[in-house]
Amino acid sequence: MLEFRGVRVQPTPLELKAILEERLATAPRETWIARFTAAGIPAGPIHTLEEALNAPQVRAAGMVETVAHPTLGALELLANPIRMSGRPEENGASAPPPLLGQHTIEVLRALGYDEMRIEELLRDKVVMQAAV
């Protein structure tokens, strides 16, 4: 319950959200974390994506890796969060994201298409194969 001009009211969730947003906007994030912590309220920052990816603990855990992309150059990717001690080669990013059409022929072969049909599809521009 909140008191507003001497009347006790119970705000709706949206109203409460607006009240909190307005109040929290009056001080920096660190100030609120310190105030909440001092009052015994568990609190921590909500990071932006950039802050999260550059956090020391994320970097130390190897959760962001740099791979070489054929057109974009160095590209940072999220690493696999599941770590297997007996298979370290599977712990990281295996490759950069593929180019559009990079694996078309391999996929068509895996689906059972013969070489003549694949050539037809490529010639008729139904599918494409990226030049890597």
Instruction: Let me know if residue 25 belongs to a domain.
Output: yes
Residue 2 inside a domain? The answer is: no
Answer yes or no: is 78 within a domain.
yes
Asked if residue 1 belongs to a domain, the reply is: no
Instruction: Convert the pLDDT of each residue in 6-35 to its tens digit.
Output: 777 888 899 899 999 999 999 999 999 999
Backbone angles phi, psi at 84, to 5 degrees: -115, 115
pLDDT in tens, 30-62: 999 999 999 999 999 999 999 999 999 999 988
Diameter of the chain measured on Cα atoms: 83
Same domain membership, residue 126 and residue 107? yes
Considering the domain architecture, whether residues 86 and 105 belong to the same structural domain is answered as no
- Please check whether residue 44 lies inside any domain of the structure: no
Number of domains in the chain: 3
pLDDT interval class at 115 (50, 70, 90): very high
Asked if residue 67 belongs to a domain, the reply is yes
What span, in angstroms and rounded, lies between the C-alpha atoms of 92 and 4? 56
**Is residue 116 situated within a structural domain?**
yes
Instruction: State the residue range of the domain holding 56.
Output: 49-90
Q: How far apart are CA 113 and CA 129, in angstroms?
A: 15
Give one DSSP letter per residue of the chain, joined into a string.
-EEETTEEE---HHHHHHHHHHHHTTS-HHHHHHHHHHTT--------HHHHHT-HHHHHTT-EEEEEETTTEEEEEEPPS---TT-GGGSS--SPPPPTTTTHHHHHHHTT--HHHHHHHHHTTSS-----
Is position 43 within any domain?
Answer: no
d(C-alpha 102, C-alpha 107), whole Å? 10
